[in-house]
Chain A
Amino acid sequence: MGIQKRNPGFRVAAYGLARNDDNRRSDGNRSLFFFGAVCLLLFLLHSSSTHSDMHSDLTAIQSTLHPQFTPPAPGTYSLPPIDTITDHHLLDATGNPVALFDAAAGKIAIISFMYTSCAEVGGCPLAATVLQQIDQMLVKRPELARQVTLVSLSFDAERDSPQRMAVARHALAPRTDWHFLTTTDATALQSVLSDFDQPVAKLWNEDGSWSGLFRHVLKVYLVDTQHQIRNIYSTGLFSAQLVVNDIETILMESTKHSHSGKP
């Protein structure tokens, strides 16, 4: 029957309410957590064993990094537009203003909302790891890479300064067109989040102080050159090959006909 018994397992959306005794120190530790989590995920990514002796909680992350299915072939399915986004004024990792549409510049964009203090391994660190996988796949396919841009966009306007996004960029060492963007302030951030329908909320301690964490539903957006959202990925069905196949599906479609806006 293909049925195996396992221990009670992984919960996709686990949130913690950390104490907030020293903001600066805890921020630093959380940034390290993010990169540590990325390291962990990269370890899992390059681990060939599917019978990991690590805790079974990691199984779901493993299944994202090593999918148990073969994604449908490019062009064999359709991705009807879900919504259309507008342009937004952001900051790049050098601190220069940049418009989102200029960052995408006529390319298909993979836009991942994240924050560098994320303490949920199956959230932002997982998204960053999958984006890095995509980056590595694109390196091997320069023709395709020219038509794609990756965007990691922070929803932590307070702490994720351009400098911190530059650290993230350095740690992830992109080899293709991968932008690390943040917003100037909470107002600009709100505009972006509303446009993308990306729920983000601060998690509060019982004493009313901010835990330093956000509740967020992991969403990664596939946006075509006409600024239409064509797919939204979340934990469980977000593999690099799946995203690359979706990109190719859109590119194949645009070679056949200009898109009408209706499925």
Chain B
Amino acid sequence: MRQFARRWRLALGALGVAVAFVMSGREIHADETCQSPYLPKITGQEDYLYVWTLGAEGVGDGSDKLATIGANPAKQDQYGKVLSSVSVGGRHEAHHGGFNDDRRYLWLGGLDDSKIFIFDVASNPAKPTLTKTIDTFVKDSGGVVGPHTFYPLPGRMLITGLSNDKDHGGKTGMVEYSNEGKYIQTLWMPDNAPYGYDVRVQPHLNRMLTSSFTGWNNYMMDFGQMVADKEAMKRFGQTMVLWDFHARKPIQTFEVPGAPLEVRWALQPRHDYAFTATALTSKLWLIAQKADGTFEAKDVGNIGDPTKIPLPVDMSLSADDQTLFVNTFMDGMCRVYNVGDPTKPKVIHEQKIGAQVNMVSQTWDGKRVYFTSSLLANWDKKGDANEQFLKVYTWDGKALKPTFTVDFTKENLGRPHIMHFGQEQFYKNQIYTEQKADSAKVASR
């Protein structure tokens, strides 16, 4: 009996430790937002920024490449410098990419020829290496073209397409591969919402949300030519689709006119909503769950002056769901919204980043914000306005203060696009075997 009581005391003590540990979890956990909830987050200061970069004619070797930039101010010999640049050979319309579910491999896509390049980041985080190329995406998938969003699921990679190989229009689907690069399945977008772009999952609701852009014919066309082509301008997505994630089946379609692009689910518990921005109509939309469990999409405000077509592109939601950074490509602006009340976003800051701006990524603590300039090879501005940069700022809740800039043209790199964070200590811990662990232990001393 005494032993039983002792066991219970021990168990209750452990229970107390468990509760304390859960409560302390927020202090330990840090870093970037807007990623798959299945992706382990890195903690603390990022050491590296990986930038998937379009090749530009006459700039360096002209090929698409993965550039690694030093991002830790404590490492002055690396900070703001190009640490490595790995060319993949040729121009593939480098665009988006994402880590696999254990963050060891970075998958990067080419929108033009649908090639996928897989880099090993874990072995040497300062110098990723190309380990595998998938050049059968179109064939594997049964005709999906333009791998766009790379979204890690447990043991798998979910990839959205933008187009198809029959007419190179906007009808498309999503494709799943195993972590090893083995094709699993294709999910075609529904007939009443055939276009695709981004995908994000909210696991605890078993809901997946997709958005819609345009097909290969448009995104590979010269921007001025496309805007002047009335027929081409009709071929943009007008819809978002809510899916039963587990069943991979569409359950609701929303009319969201003007090409809804990035999907950003709120991160906090019970914040059962997501934002998107429409490129052509320059609106911020809220897709929120109603009391009956279904969702509704609602226009919650303009982004800049829609009549001037500022072209909202990337956006980033802070980890506390309070602050939303929205870039507009044409005027090169970043608008910062307070979205504490998601139904009434309020602009709290506006800042010009450059002549053009596309991608924005913030750290998990929201204190550092990274911007890159390129949209698409044929949509980027021309002449002097074709600035190609990485610009890094700190954010104090009021203003963006510049820390460093990398001129991607002067550095002979090209047109910088999507950014992902890397950290030395994170990868030191990504070691499997005893033998390797011992060497890591020595290395960390």
Contacts and interface: CB of A to CB of B under 8 A. Distances in A.
A165 interface: no
A186 B434 CA distance: 7
Interface residues of B, number: 77
Interface in B3-45: 10-19, 21-26, 28-29, 37-38, 40-41, 43
Contact of B290 (A2, A55, A193): A2
B433 A204 contact: no
Interface of A: 1-6, 8-16, 29, 32-37, 39-40, 43, 54-61, 63-64, 67-69, 71-72, 76-78, 80-83, 119-122, 125, 186, 190, 193-194, 197, 199-204, 206-210, 215, 217, 219, 229, 232-237, 242, 263
A13 B154 contact: no
Interface string B420-440: 000000001111111001001
Interface string B258-274: 00000000001111110
A14 B29 contact: yes
Interface of B: 10-19, 21-26, 28-29, 37-38, 40-41, 43, 101-102, 104, 153-156, 176, 178-180, 182, 184-185, 203-207, 244-249, 268-273, 286, 288-291, 319-320, 340, 342-343, 428-434, 437, 440-442, 444-445
Secondary structure of the A contact surface, majority rule: loop
Contact of A2 (B21, B184, B289): B289
B14 A201 contact: no
B161 to A, nearest CB: 17
Contacts of B29: 11, 13-14
Contacts of B248: 77
Nearest to B288: A1
B11 A60 contact: no
B320 A8 contact: yes
A201 B429 CA distance: 6
Contacts of A82: 155-156, 178, 184
Given A69-B205, A232-B155, A37 B15 contact: yes
A36 B269 contact: no
A16 B27 CA distance: 10
B154 A36 contact: no
A40 B40 contact: no
Given A4-B270, A16-B21, A40-B19, A71 B37 contact: no
Contacts of B249: 72, 77
Given A72-B244, A82-B184, A12 B37 contact: yes
Given A36-B12, A237-B204, A121 B37 contact: no
Contacts of B437: 201-202, 204
B269 A232 contact: no
A33 B154 contact: no
